Structure 1
Amino acid sequence: MNSRFISAALATAMIVAGASASAEIKPADVVWEDEIAIPMSLTGVPGDPARGAEVLSKRSLGNCVACHQNSAMPDVAFQGNVGPTFDGVGARWSEAELRGLVANAKRAFPGSMMPVFYNDSPADYIRPGDAYTAKAYNPETFSTLLTAQQIEDVVAYLVTLTEY
């Protein structure tokens, strides 16, 4: 085979792989398994545990530690005790179950106080609005609380928490 053909084939394969890897699943298109698990990645891109830890611990992002305690983050102040501890969560739940719980815990636990992080239907929120701005609902700017990649990042971090 000539090298130009091989180069062209490799370039095409890389473009196709890149396009499919970055295909984000929209909230309405998520396929659920047993009302708790999302077996497929929401992005096709592996999550980054370091970014997931940041989302989980930052008030301006997921702020998960406002309700959950995480012994793996002793420097994060004001951790909550409303939700279950993150200690050992990676041993208790599969990756698919964690993805489902982070995206929308209310599917598995209808009475949960946990926010629905991956849903863009205003009908499913008590007070849809523009984030924390107190601005009224605007269908052109309304979106999920966390992006699909942020969900994947949080899940990548949570699966590392196997110790109790």
Structure 2
Amino acid sequence: MRAMAMGSVAVLMAACAATPPRDALPQPLTAVPGDAVRGRAIVASRQAGLCLLCHPAPIAEERFQGNLAPDLAGAGARWSAAQLRLRVVDARRLNPQTIMPPYHDTDGLQRVGTAWQGRAVLDAQQVEDVVAWLVTLQ
């Protein structure tokens, strides 16, 4: 009986090890590594990322930062690159009620203007650039 229980535990542990984490996207979206300098520029941009509309971030030259969402300072200490990637791609996968829009996923969106239908806010390289910058925020 004990041997059977130990075998079951071993099988369960192996299955868990083979299951990708549900709170992360482990694989980068591109073969080209993200560029932290470009990522910072995207986050700071009022035209591209719009991140500062909701999030405060350690970008001193940008005034009028948001206070609706978590501070991005220390993001790299709180989350791994894979966890940050999922949050940027589509935070709805973690919390369906989030107010954060999906920046790369376009599935299931409602009331999207005709010009924007099927278009991601950020392309795959931009997502990787933003992730590269966020992981530097220790």
Query: How would you bin the TM-score normalised by the shorter chain?
Result: 0.7 to 0.9
1:114 is aligned, of 92, 96, 100, to: 100
Cα distance in 2 for partners of 1:89, 1:120 equals 24
The CA deviation at 1:39 is 0.3
The CA deviation at 1:93 is 0.2
2:132 is aligned, of 156, 160, 163, to: 156
1:125 is aligned, of 92, 109, 112, to: 109
Q: Is the 8 A contact 1:69 1:81 kept in 2?
A: yes
Report the secondary structure of 2:121's partner residue.
coil
Cα distance in 2 for partners of 1:91, 1:64 equals 19
Alpha-carbon deviations, 1:133-154, whole Å to 9, x = none? xxxx5xxxx3111100000000
What's the TM-score, normalizing by structure 2?
A: 0.81
Aligned residue pair count: 119
Alpha-carbon deviations, 1:7-48, whole Å to 9, x = none? xxxxxxxxxxxxxxxxxxxxxxxxx94332100010111001
Cα distance in 1 for partners of 2:111, 2:56 equals 27
The CA deviation at 1:74 is 0.8
Report the secondary structure of 1:115's partner residue.
coil
C-alpha root-mean-square deviation of aligned residues, in Å?
A: 1.5
Percent sequence identity over aligned pairs: 42
What's the TM-score, normalizing by structure 1?
A: 0.69
Report the secondary structure of 1:110's partner residue.
coil
Cα distance in 2 for partners of 1:92, 1:54 equals 21
Structure 2 residue runs of 5 or longer lacking an equivalent are: 1-18
Where do residues 1-164 of structure 1 align in structure 2 (5 Å cutoff)? 33-70=20-57, 72-121=58-107, 124-129=108-113, 130-131=115-116, 137=117, 142-162=118-138
Report the secondary structure of 2:77's partner residue.
helix
Structure 1 residue runs of 5 or longer lacking an equivalent are: 1-31, 132-136
Ranked by relative contact order (alpha carbons within 8 Å, sequence separation 6 or more), the top structure is 2
Alpha-carbon deviations, 1:47-81, whole Å to 9, x = none? 011110111111110110110001x2011011000
Cα distance in 2 for partners of 1:85, 1:128 equals 27
Where does residue 16 of structure 2 map in the other structure? none
Alpha-carbon deviations, 1:102-150, whole Å to 9, x = none? 11111112211001111133xx11212223xxxxx5xxxx311110000
